[in-house]
Amino acid sequence: MKLKTALRTSVGICATATLLAACGGGSGGDNAGGGGDSEYVDGGTFTMSMAGDPGKLDPQSSASTQLFTVNQLAYDNLVSVDAKTGEIQSQLATDWKVDGKTVTLTLGKGITCADGSDFTATAVADNIAYVGDPKNKSPYLGTFLPVGATAKADDAAGTVTITLAQPAPFVLNGLASLPMVCESGMKDRASLADSTAGTGPYELTEATPGDQYTYQVRDGYTWGPDGATTAEKGMPDTVVVKVIQNEGTAANLLLSGDINAVTIQGPDAKRLEGAGMFSTSTPAMVGEQWYNHDDGHETGDADVRMALTQALDLGQLASVATAGAGGPATTFAAIEPVSCPGDSISGSLPAQDVDAAKAVLDGKKLTFLYSSAAGSAVGAAAELAVQQWEAAGASVTAKGVDETALQQAIFGTGDWDIAWVPLNVNSPDQLVPFLSGPGLADGGTNFSGIDNADYAAGVEKASAMNGTEGCPTWLDAESQLVAAADVIPFANNAVKTFGNGAEFEYPGQFVPTSLRMLAQ
């Protein structure tokens, strides 16, 4: 049986590097625990772990991996992207056309929301208007929807015409990660905080924040990625997403059969591999060092940011953070299929120079945040980084916090100087609002306050080019950030998601229509 599934690009502001958006890898498993129709069983409950709580469930309110994880169960996107080829495929829209600054999409027929109402072209236009309004502060503006985009609907024809303010070379890739909300949710936005209003293959039936979220399958769903349905043999009736912050605990629960899937970044992966568990592999950024550029922080000084970078042995950090299984980062957009492959990082990294760092860092007091849910290997790398900074004269207070607290700090309180926050996407344009433009105080998503004129100029030039023709320019723009030590990606790894009693596809995020329960 061919599983009709596809990649959902995503951006993941998270320390476990499971992505966003959007978010790589092949469509099959590394170790096939099942493999035939006769071994699939209908119904049952699929239980997966999640490293942190998603908080408010409004699907357009946050760029966290946790929200992406639960979003995809209840919400659909306008198009999808094939995991292997990068080719645009159908989802809510069955036809699409990009002509300069005009994008035309034709919706499939018979699409319904979980409440039974029809999903219309007007609903799409309303979603575009909501995300496109800066007053709503959606992190998807500029990430998955170009700034200045407007939309007009023709319900009779089932078409939506999106007009762009300027060319957007990867606009369809962005729309493949923009969740669509049904009219009931658009009219009562507050209801989306703890319920769902989507067209997706599952509907939320119970939410216990900090513990678990339960979803029930929707019968008659036929408009998934590339025509995927919920009528395939082996689809679970119920999906339970459990919040389990400790990787070791989650690995134990998988081995005992108490959960069906877990993403492991640290050394626990080796014992799951040794147990012969089914697994999929997702290349991802797992080490990315951000500095708080805002006034009032030592890291607001470019010389301090450079010194903190020069104090580190980044190759050693990458080895420790990946438990020896990964390597250095090469591009900011690391999720396959990568739109612009190459290396924008290695040749631009400031060389380690501890003596130069000492001349600047002597006596500087800094706060360093990283995710306690990222695994023991990342925790060990964080300890090593602190040792190297302190050897260069800085006084660094390291705090391993849960992902909710990390989100609150970088998008809320601003109580941080250095943070490890891997941001995973597959297209460089999706990074622009996080690396330039308005900061949080001005309603933007540039949470670290980066202001790099060379990067901004490169983005402007690359955005005017068609698709991959602009890739060398995109990569050069990224190099300017690294050379200036504005942000330092330093580690990539193949992050594995393991399964027990089930199979699935995981190109950066679970593909709900790929879930298959196995006969025990």
- Tell me: the pLDDT tens digits for 186-234? 999 999 999 999 999 999 999 999 999 999 999 999 999 999 999 999 9
Q: In the predicted model, is pLDDT for residue 33 greater than 60?
A: no
Domain contains 343: yes
Using one digit for the tens of pLDDT, what is the confidence trace for 137-183? 898 998 899 999 999 999 999 999 999 998 888 999 999 999 999 99
Number of structural domains (the chain) is 1
Residue 518 C-alpha from the chain's centroid: 28
In whole angstroms, give the CA distance from residue 323 to residue 376.
9
Please identify which residue in the block is written with the tokens 């396959």: 336
Backbone phi, psi, residue 88, to 5°: -70, 135
Domain contains 196: no
Q: In the predicted model, is pLDDT for residue 495 greater than 50?
A: yes
Q: In the predicted model, is pLDDT for residue 36 greater than 60?
A: no
Checking phi first, is residue 246 left (phi over 0); if not, alpha (psi -120 to 50) or beta? beta
Domain contains 318: yes
Residue 66 pLDDT: 86
Specify burial of residue 167 (Cβ count, 10 A radius: 0-12, 13-18, 19+): middle
Domain with 413 in it: 283-494
* Whether the bond into 22 is cis, omega within 30 of 0: yes
Q: In the predicted model, is pLDDT for residue 416 greater than 60?
A: yes
Q: With bands split at pLDDT 50, 70 and 90, how would you rate the model's confidence at 86?
A: confident
Sign, CA dihedral 420-509-85-149, equals negative
Q: With bands split at pLDDT 50, 70 and 90, how would you rate the model's confidence at 237?
A: very high
Residue 341: CATH number of its domain: 3.10.105.10
Q: With bands split at pLDDT 50, 70 and 90, how would you rate the model's confidence at 509?
A: confident
- pLDDT-wise least confident of 157-166, 179-188, 255-264, 397-406: 397-406
Residue 466 pLDDT: 81
Per-residue exposure over 93-119, b if at least 16 CB sit within 10 Å of its own CB, e if not: bbebebeebebebbbbeebebbeeeeb
Instruction: Give the mean pLDDT of 473-491.
Output: 98
Domain contains 177: no
Instruction: Give the mean pLDDT of 463-488.
Output: 94
Q: In the predicted model, is pLDDT for residue 20 greater than 90?
A: no
Q: In the predicted model, is pLDDT for residue 418 greater than 80?
A: yes
Are residues 148 and 142 in contact, defined by beta-carbon separation less than 8 angstroms? no
Please identify which residue in the block is written with the tokens 């998934």: 224
Average pLDDT over the chain, rounded to whole?
90
Percent of the chain having pLDDT more than 90? Answer: 74
Residue 508 pLDDT: 67
Domain contains 36: no
Residue 85 pLDDT: 81
Entry pTM: 0.83
DSSP 76: B
Residue 510 pLDDT: 80
Which 3 state secondary structure label does DSSP give 448?
Answer: coil
